[in-house]
A and B are shown apart, each in its own frame.
With several copies, the nearest count.
Chain A
Amino acid sequence: MGKVKMTAVALVLIHAAWAVAALVVHQAVLPTPWAVYAYLPQLARRQLQWHLFFSLYRLGWSMVIATILGVVIGIACVRLPRVGRVLDPLIYLTYPLPKIALLPVVMLLFGLGDGSKIILITLIIVFQVIIGVRDAVRQIPASVYQGVAVMGASRWQTLWYVTWPASLAGLFSALRIALGSAIATLFFTEVYGTEYGIGYLIMDEWNRLDYLGMYGGIVVLAALAFILFAALGALEAWSSRWRRSA
């Protein structure tokens, strides 16, 4: 259980750094950890479970859609070279577009509800998944394909027996990056048309200059993120058992 111990060490470190910073800055903008934790029960009474639920709901759908699209497009970019040669510049041209600028168009098409939020988060993270998967697939050496090609594997079989397992580690890496981005994006999607969501909660507290509440929300969010990252890690460990015997 060295992992648990080390996580504890990390927690202590992070709180120590926070405490020191808070004491040095000594301003309301940066409250001390104990003040924030003392405030947490109060925050919990404010329907925290629903804030969590709605954020998770939006995150979940975006991650699922972005994963599916990202895997399909990322693989297609490499395995269908003609498609890839058109998609690559398309990705580079569209990835860095300010998604915030697309807000009116997204709202026009998907309204103010969860739909537009999910689409927006997806738009932001799908490129990260695409690029991660594509680069991982690109790194698979040709020799790995040779074996199954000689055995007469079809396109789909090649995908299933080679491309997918060989790029899985890259996919998980991309999903980790995307998950972080998606969470960070909540602050920009949960500020309209909703009164629930951790992002909303934090922004709301911020707008009230209630830094205790804001940092309380951030603590909850960090805990949530940690759990999600741990889940991703467990999924990866399970799906790449074969690496363990190396």
Chain B
Amino acid sequence: APKESAVQSSGSAAAPKSATIRIGTMAAPDSLPLYVAQQAGYFKKHHLNVKLTAFKSPKERDAAIAGGQLDAAVSDAVALSTYVNGQLGFKSATALTGYFGIVTSADNVKSVADLKGQAIATMPRQTPTFYLDQQLAKAGLKDTDVAIKEVAAIPVRLQLVANKQAAATILPDPFLSMAKAQGLKVIAQSDPAQYQTTLLAVDRALGQNQAVMKRFYQAYDQAVKTINKHHASDYQALLTKQLGFPAKIAAAYQLPHYQAAQAVPTKTLKQAFAYAHQTGILKQAVDASDYQLQVQ
């Protein structure tokens, strides 16, 4: 049988002998710089042979990490705490540019504070819920003030809210944009310039290879720079094919301002780990900074 790469239109040609990095990506704007760096040849230029593997859900991504099939993965702060729990040896390298929004279909919900007593569809013990918790806290609510409906699959969550079987849910893009397109209200959205919970997790070997990491960051930063000079309209193919944007949504999409490679703010990471400890993911308190790599 032909190899899939032979069929793929965007198959990469044989790279020069260089460091190979296997990265798991998610269908979200967070992964865009990786794809741009790949497509524009930035990785190759920095003698990195990067292999991107797309995942549809965190579950399979984490299985691939646990199965030793990935050197790095687009992940998030709470997921990182599960890697700690699972002793996978992954650490946080750079923060990625990603964001969440809380959407609602309830007419009487105008702000986060109005969520009191409402049903919220989410998957507890994951980063979106961590974000929700923080937003609730800001609005003076506790997580017991809302009724959590546990639903793993994001499209189902969106559907539940659209059908008014739940009042609100927390979504990343592209689902956030799709929700907006369906007429759902966004009552809160995180700003990637200040609040970053998605990150690139890397395994021990890669994390310790500072030379390679350095080249990686250079390629990444170059991609970020390039993206920030362009508009979503320049990345329609990537957005629709790799990042899961429906064509219509992609056309109307506004790219966030991408951040150069930088460590996740230690404070955010610590909060996430504290959340992980509090929800039972981490059996004991863990110092988050032990799982954070410096970004030079």
Chain A interfacial positions (CB closer than 8 Å to B): 27-29, 47, 50, 53-54, 57, 100, 103-109, 111-112, 114, 191-196, 203-204, 206-211
**Total number of B residues with any Cβ neighbor in A under 8 Å:** 51
Check A208–B60 contact: CB distance below 8 A: no
Q: B69 to chain A: which residues have CB within 8 Å?
A: 107-108, 111-112
In the complex the two chains form, what is the Cα distance from A133 to B87 in whole Å?
42
Asked whether any CB of chain A lies closer than 8 Å to the CB of B39, the reply is: no
Q: A27 to chain B: which residues have CB within 8 Å?
A: 66, 68, 87, 163
Check A104–B63 contact: CB distance below 8 A: yes
Asked whether any CB of chain A lies closer than 8 Å to the CB of B95, the reply is: no
In the complex the two chains form, what is the Cα distance from A232 to B236 in whole Å?
43
Please judge, given known A-B contacts A104-B66, A104-B67, A108-B69, whether A29 and B159 are in contact too, CB under 8 Å.
Answer: yes
- Expressed in whole angstroms, the minimum distance between the Cβ of B155 and any Cβ of chain A is 6
Contact for A208 among B8, B68, B82, B160, CB less than 8 A: B82
Contact for A209 among B60, B123, B155, CB less than 8 A: B155
Please judge, given known A-B contacts A29-B159, A103-B156, A206-B155, whether A196 and B7 are in contact too, CB under 8 Å.
Answer: yes
In the complex the two chains form, what is the Cα distance from A107 to B81 in whole Å?
22
Q: Interface residues of A: mostly helix, strand, loop or mixed?
A: helix
Contact for B155 among A104, A114, A192, CB less than 8 A: A104
Asked whether any CB of chain A lies closer than 8 Å to the CB of B141, the reply is: no
Binds A, one of B48-56, B100-108, B191-199, B219-227: B48-56
Binds A, one of B146-154, B210-218, B287-295: B146-154
In the complex the two chains form, what is the Cα distance from A131 to B59 in whole Å?
30
Given contact pairs A191-B57, A195-B4, A209-B62, enumerate 7 new A-B contacts (beta carbons under 8 Å): A103-B156, A104-B64, A108-B68, A191-B56, A207-B56, A207-B82, A209-B158
In the complex the two chains form, what is the Cα distance from A99 to B63 in whole Å?
12
Please judge, given known A-B contacts A103-B67, A107-B69, A203-B56, whether A195 and B150 are in contact too, CB under 8 Å.
Answer: yes
A-B contact count (CB 8 A): 145
In the complex the two chains form, what is the Cα distance from A137 to B125 in whole Å?
49
Q: B54 to chain A: which residues have CB within 8 Å?
A: 193, 195
Q: A210 to chain B: which residues have CB within 8 Å?
A: 85-86, 246, 281
In the complex the two chains form, what is the Cα distance from A47 to B6 in whole Å?
13
Contact with A along B116-158 (1 / 0, CB 8 A): 0000000101100000000000000000000001111111101
Q: Which of chain A's residues has its CB closest to B178's CB?
A: A209
Asked whether any CB of chain A lies closer than 8 Å to the CB of B185, the reply is: no
Check A192–B82 contact: CB distance below 8 A: no
In the complex the two chains form, what is the Cα distance from A111 to B7 in whole Å?
20
Contact for B125 among A29, A194, A196, A208, CB less than 8 A: A208
In the complex the two chains form, what is the Cα distance from A98 to B160 in whole Å?
19
Q: Which of chain A's residues has its CB closest to B250's CB?
A: A208
